[in-house]
Structure 1
């Protein structure tokens, strides 16, 4: 049996992050801070604030986008939930996991006074561990209904905190052992507030696991790889924990394949279809009154998370491909508002839903030998067909995932997204712009607390 837990702890203690990898880490870290702000203006915020009030929760942790503070683990819970609230946070093409919101929420709460370079290093390593574990456990983990952002993100957050706090490797092993008993998140809660809670819960539990381990609490030192450990319980016959240690930092996931930053605030599996629809708008120049039908064809497995053909609110709309396409028929300018309750329940949008058909077809996986092993957002290719009332027809095929390393967001797009997210939390544009600029120069920051203060109301 491999010594996976011990090997991870040793790697975290000694890893040296190349300057080029640090530089690549800035964009997704900035993006994550922005989407956390957007969560502070979302529908998950009021019940979370009521939870803080009910428990009289105050402490050193800053709750982004608000004037609140909280104990570290509660700040991690809230900020992590904010980060995934609008499904606007990043992903990675090699695994169905959104690691950044979990890792960043845990770092800001559990190690708040880091210098910029140390924060970047801890973030890189947290993402690295979450992604390499996700790849090793395999896509079947997702197919069985687990939400990898919660079940695997917790280990990335523990890894980041272990590096940030320079834990002894044996203490780190204990923290991983505790985290193995805290990993959770099921897909049945997609389209509800329970889904972003998976992210916050993972960040919160990582902070608790690290603090308990540092205080002398005990746990199994081989909880990842042992019989009845994490891989044995959450994995399957195709899981391969033996590959993790060989692949750590070789290359770093932040560098290759790189992070994908979302252009649209909905499930990533809808993004290529949206791009296809927008391409058809440019060809046919249609409006909502012109459309007879829209048909979207995707590779098998692509619709797994898109479970609401007739959404009733914004959360369900984020997991409705029918609505994502209807919204683009009405208005090509997607924004945070597009996936809110008011937008989803527009009579025009609801009237369009019966005219939109989505289906899976094996031919969309032809030419992609690894389609079955990929996450739903990037399997094969996507086709979008539109027919107008006057008989025009056009089809658009989309292969590349928007916002991915193959088609990245420009810095100007990232800044615009950050300011839009900050505006949703009620932050002043000038203050938000200053925070963005300082985050963009994070390698020169001596204490990130000064930047985080700008992200408060």
Structure 2
């Protein structure tokens, strides 16, 4: 690729004279992706994130109070004329025979997959790419199979990879700064990744993908105001993104004209959704199809905002070292000080009443106070949903009042610094740059399966859950319909 103007080959994405046709290049990447691009690393990673997605999605049936209302609402919206006997209906995981139109199946799988805040993350983009990428790919693949155009397992894996890549690269350019503007990168970037998945499976040409992207510029959304009351908006964000991706693709295929240059334009995506001065179109498109940034995605060991994970791990290690035969008492702790980046402080460290003393799951997931207090008292375990059964635990609330959070401008990413002053006079200070699951601190395969089984067994049972693990491991040998039948 020819280098754009600028001494370092990069220019800011909001410059109207910028020569980099980012929208066109990203659309071309999706339209021209080939299964020969699938490396061994990509195949392994797709299987890992797919298994994780299945687990966190069906886990919402057991652990998320929002699941039934969302299922009820979408069933009513779809209407009584669409049933399990209707042609072309698609699968929602663990809901029995297919009975949803593909756009609604995609919406539901993505919303459920994000409901526990347990889905994989991409640190440079501060987002969750898997729920949109996989939900869109599975629904479209099943829809095509229903039409007699069954995509191969390789095509599905390619669609997932391309969708992840588009979402992660867009999220990286949006940056942390997008959150200060009030937008959720998971959904604002996720709609473009979903379109990329559909483009691969439907063999769309570059022009059609560009038009779908252009239309998506008017649909990308996801308000961070959900933090005000721990609302379920957040859980729906990726679902809305997948649903609207199907709409944008259908419109583009029918010849509807979408906005041109939607990513790089003066009123385009980056201008609207982030105040970042570091948007870099050269970096956005550099190495597309050769360098797969999404391989840096990480699985989550704990069902909480990723920004709390290093603190959870540090607290759990301290608890394990002190507890011996019994759990730590809040009376043993005089004070706790946490340090984090200013960007993370906005989401998990601000000492508002609903963070210091959360009363619902979402507020607790975004509270460094609650997560640290719980881990210091009760330990930190992979795949454990029990913290949210203790929202009213007086010991936790006693301890959260002893926790202070400070910002540290020298810190970045998901790094954590933590100091505990024990009442016996013993100080305890720890720090960690990378939470468990990042490539620098990897989540081992046994942990992947441990997490999956913890979430899947209550829904599928142990035998079927083990069969799903085997099926995903041998994905190339299965048809998409065989896999989805197993997941029903």
Q: TM-score, normalised by structure 1?
A: 0.90
Aligned partner (choices 91, 114, 117) of residue 62 of structure 1 = 91
| Greater Cα offset, 4-13 or 239-248 | 239-248
Q: What is the match of residue 6 of structure 2?
A: none
Show the 5 A alignment for 1:254-403: 254-255=294-295, 258-285=296-323, 287-289=328-330, 290-306=332-348, 308-334=355-381, 335-340=383-388, 342-362=389-409, 364-365=410-411, 371=412, 374=413, 378=414, 381-403=415-437
1:289-328, CA deviations, whole angstroms, 9 ceiling, x for partnerless residues?
5333322222332222115221011221101111101111
1:433-457, CA deviations, whole angstroms, 9 ceiling, x for partnerless residues?
1112111221332x1221122222x
**Structure 2 CA distance, aligned partners of 1:299 and 1:220?**
37
**Structure 2 CA distance, aligned partners of 1:421 and 1:432?**
10
Aligned partner (choices 24, 29, 33) of residue 6 of structure 1 = 24
1:387-407, CA deviations, whole angstroms, 9 ceiling, x for partnerless residues?
333222211221222111112
**Structure 2 CA distance, aligned partners of 1:299 and 1:218?**
42
The alignment of Structure 1 onto Structure 2 pairs a total of residues equal to: 438
Structure 1: gaps (5+ residues) = 366-370
**Structure 2 CA distance, aligned partners of 1:32 and 1:406?**
22
**Structure 1 CA distance, aligned partners of 2:373 and 2:386?**
11
**Structure 2 CA distance, aligned partners of 1:186 and 1:450?**
37
| Greater Cα offset, 196-205 or 53-62 | 53-62
1:319-354, CA deviations, whole angstroms, 9 ceiling, x for partnerless residues?
1111101111221144443343x3212233223221
Aligned partner (choices 409, 414, 434) of residue 443 of structure 2 = 409
Q: Residues 333 and 7 of structure 1: is their aligned pair in 2 closer, same or farther, counting only changes over 3 Å? A: closer
Contact 1:137/1:240 (<8 A) preserved: no
Q: CA deviation at 1:97?
A: 1.4
Q: CA deviation at 1:126?
A: 0.6
Q: Residues 277 and 211 of structure 1: is their aligned pair in 2 closer, same or farther, counting only changes over 3 Å? A: same
**Structure 1 CA distance, aligned partners of 2:285 and 2:385?**
43
**Structure 1 CA distance, aligned partners of 2:333 and 2:99?**
50
Q: CA deviation at 1:268?
A: 0.3
Aligned partner (choices 132, 147, 151) of residue 188 of structure 2 = 151
Contact 1:65/1:422 (<8 A) preserved: no
Q: Residues 40 and 213 of structure 1: is their aligned pair in 2 closer, same or farther, counting only changes over 3 Å? A: farther
Contact 2:322/2:328 (<8 A) preserved: no
Residue 23 (structure 1) aligned with residue 53 (structure 2): no
Q: What is the match of residue 14 of structure 2?
A: none
Tell me which stretches of 4 or more aligned residues in structure 1 moved more than 6 Å: none
Give the CA RMSD over aligned residues. 2.1
Structure 2: gaps (5+ residues) = 1-18, 146-150
Show the 5 A alignment for 1:84-163: 84-112=114-142, 113=145, 114-163=151-200
| Greater Cα offset, 349-358 or 99-108 | 349-358
Contact 2:191/2:220 (<8 A) preserved: yes
Q: What is the match of residue 368 of structure 1?
A: none
Q: What is the match of residue 212 of structure 1?
A: 251
Q: CA deviation at 1:235?
A: 4.0
Q: CA deviation at 1:119?
A: 1.2
Q: What is the match of residue 224 of structure 2?
A: 187
Q: What is the match of residue 5 of structure 2?
A: none
Contact 1:80/1:199 (<8 A) preserved: yes
Q: Residues 137 and 346 of structure 1: is their aligned pair in 2 closer, same or farther, counting only changes over 3 Å? A: closer
